[in-house]
Amino acid sequence: MKQVLMILGGMLLTLMVHAQQLTKTEEKNRSFTGAVAVKKQYRVIYQMDNGDPKVIEKVLRNLNNALNDPRLKGKLQAELVAFSGGTDAYLKGSKYEETLKSLVEKGVIVAQCANTLHERNIERDKIYDFIGVVPSGNGELILRQAEGWSVIKP
Amino acid sequence: MKQVLMILGGMLLTLMVHAQQLTKTEEKNRSFTGAVAVKKQYRVIYQMDNGDPKVIEKVLRNLNNALNDPRLKGKLQAELVAFSGGTDAYLKGSKYEETLKSLVEKGVIVAQCANTLHERNIERDKIYDFIGVVPSGNGELILRQAEGWSVIKP
Amino acid sequence: MKQVLMILGGMLLTLMVHAQQLTKTEEKNRSFTGAVAVKKQYRVIYQMDNGDPKVIEKVLRNLNNALNDPRLKGKLQAELVAFSGGTDAYLKGSKYEETLKSLVEKGVIVAQCANTLHERNIERDKIYDFIGVVPSGNGELILRQAEGWSVIKP
């Protein structure tokens, strides 16, 4: 009995110390759990414009995290557009083929900037056959935002 | 008198040279002083997703600059969301505790991505107690943009 | 005749193999050619906040690519705002003077953040005379997004 009281007392003390540490504003901030999804559909375009494998992997991981966010699950139309160094991810033989294919199967639009292909002298058949091609990655970002899509550059 | 005239002449010459240097279009551009705030309230979410202290400090400096912009002063609701390497800024013992607390006191929402905590095996009590947690940082960016918030990645 | 048939047969085989490689969803994705421009005007602000010459050149190249995107040609109002390290591009003597001037002549607003000038003790006459100055680059990004402009950080 004495031990139980001591444990309960300790827990109470911990709670009090915790409560004392945070101001009211801080407590309110701590209790924040995120924006609330009220729409039936959300749309996002991901910008992949860096050839650093760490950045490419971050883009792909981020995009999957968005698709799996419980607030957006089944409600998110996504597009992935590569330009500049990001094109490396699409080159045949890259280690991202399966991840990219699985994105396409999930309904994500996976697209490449034609300007970058031209600037870097990359023939279309050097990138995976299942990739779409858009006139410019930058134009795509501008048009999508104008259509109300969110944009994320990881 | 002669000296005064020479000085005035020199000043006039400088002005003329300056005027000659700029085309009409360039003069017009030089006179640009920024977009004008016409709304009563603005909203922005800052993306902090890099653990490089230089980037973390840039995010915090940028956010404070936005809060202090004379066009937005007192009109800006801001949120700061950390994910990926940006989480480092929230780890207890980091050098950003006071800056983050002052943001919270100013009404800025300061939030952490739950996915990153999970991926990096970081318990919630390892980050500052006053931080809120959202399901995913990427989902938060998407939802906020869909609500009409601006997004800035410094 | 035999040779022609063999060549035709080879081409057919290639097409079949190709068709077999792609699922229906993949074929659909491959046929994607980009978002469609339906508005009379589009607006975009470019964020130049890094002093790395590679990043500065990427910003300028990206902006030109957007202006030249066949979907946006003649329909795009653009602004370029520099802050943080991006200011280096505007310092007199930089190698970007002609590119920046040609952007201004094309109608692009080219602007500098006043906060950065202050933080880095840079007098206005140290940057090109044709550059406009805005209270803060971050405020500019927020206000433009609130006005419906797209934002791109290359």
Q: How confident is the model at residue C95 (pLDDT cuts 50, 70, 90)?
A: very high
Q: Which of C55, C108, C145 to mutate to test the interface with B (most CBs of B within 10 A)?
A: C145
A19 Cβ under 8 Å from any chain B Cβ = no
Report how far residue B115's alpha carbon sits from residue C44's, in angstroms, rounded to the nearest whole number.
32
Looking at per-residue pLDDT, the higher value among C45 and B6 belongs to C45
Do residue C32 and residue A111 have CB atoms under 8 angstroms apart?
Answer: yes
Task: Strand A150-152: give its sheet, edge to edge.
Answer: A132-134, A109-113, A76-82, A42-48, A150-152
What pLDDT is attached to residue B62?
A: 98
Q: What is the mean pLDDT of residues C107-129?
A: 98
pLDDT, tens digit, 9 for 90 and up, residues C57-67: 999 999 999 99
Q: Which two tokens stand for residue A15?
A: 């709670």
State the chains in contact with A (3 or more Cβ–Cβ pairs under 8 Å): B, C
Do residue B142 and residue A30 have CB atoms under 8 angstroms apart?
Answer: no
What pLDDT is attached to residue B32?
A: 98
Looking at per-residue pLDDT, the higher value among C88 and C16 belongs to C88
Is the alpha carbon torsion for C69, C74, C76, C79 positive or negative? positive
pLDDT, tens digit, 9 for 90 and up, residues A74-83: 999 999 999 9
pLDDT, tens digit, 9 for 90 and up, residues B45-89: 999 999 999 999 999 999 999 999 999 999 999 999 999 999 999
A26's CB contacts (< 8 A; 6+ apart) are B101, B104, B129, B130
Q: How confident is the model at residue B14 (pLDDT cuts 50, 70, 90)?
A: low
Q: What percent of chain C has pLDDT over 90?
A: 86
What pLDDT is attached to residue B12?
A: 61
Residues 85-104 on A with a CB inside 8 Å of C are: 101, 104
What pLDDT is attached to residue C10?
A: 65
Task: Strand B132-134: give its sheet, edge to edge.
Answer: B132-134, B109-113, B76-82, B42-48, B150-152
pLDDT of B18 strictly over 70: no
Three-state SS at B54: helix
Do residue A37 and residue B84 have CB atoms under 8 angstroms apart?
Answer: no
Q: Which residues of B touch A62 (CB under 8 A)?
A: 83-84, 138
Do residue C115 and residue B154 have CB atoms under 8 angstroms apart?
Answer: no
pTM for this prediction? 0.89
What pLDDT is attached to residue B98?
A: 98
Q: How confident is the model at residue A33 (pLDDT cuts 50, 70, 90)?
A: very high
Looking at per-residue pLDDT, the higher value among A54 and C13 belongs to A54
Report how far residue B119's alpha carbon sits from residue B109's, in angstroms, rounded to the nearest whole number.
23
Of C132, C144, C153, C154, which Cα lies nearest the Cα of C77? C144
Q: Mind telling me how many Å the CA of B26 is from chain C's nearest CA?
A: 5
Give the angle subtended at the CA of B46 by the CAs of B44 and B52, to the nearest 5°. Answer: 165
pLDDT of A69 strictly over 90: yes
Q: How confident is the model at residue C21 (pLDDT cuts 50, 70, 90)?
A: confident
- Burial-class residue A136 by CB neighbours within 10 Å (0-12, 13-18, 19+): buried
Q: Mind telling me how many Å the CA of A130 is from chain C's nearest CA?
A: 5
Q: What is the mean pLDDT of residues A37-53?
A: 98
Do residue C25 and residue A140 have CB atoms under 8 angstroms apart?
Answer: no
| Closest CA in chain B for residue C154 | B153
Q: What is the mean pLDDT of residues C130-150?
A: 98
Provide the number of CB pairs (under 8 Å) joining chain A to chain B: 101
User: Which 8-state DSSP code applies to residue B127?
Assistant: B
Q: How confident is the model at residue B4 (pLDDT cuts 50, 70, 90)?
A: low
ipTM score of the complex?
0.88
CA neighbours closer than 13 Å in the CB half-sphere of residue B129: 12
User: Which of A49, A84, A140 has its CB closest to that of C35?
Assistant: A140
Q: What percent of chain B has pLDDT over 90?
A: 86
Q: How confident is the model at residue A21 (pLDDT cuts 50, 70, 90)?
A: confident
Q: Mind telling me how many Å the CA of C84 is from chain B's nearest CA?
A: 8
Report how far residue A79's alpha carbon sits from residue C35's, in angstroms, rounded to the nearest whole number.
11
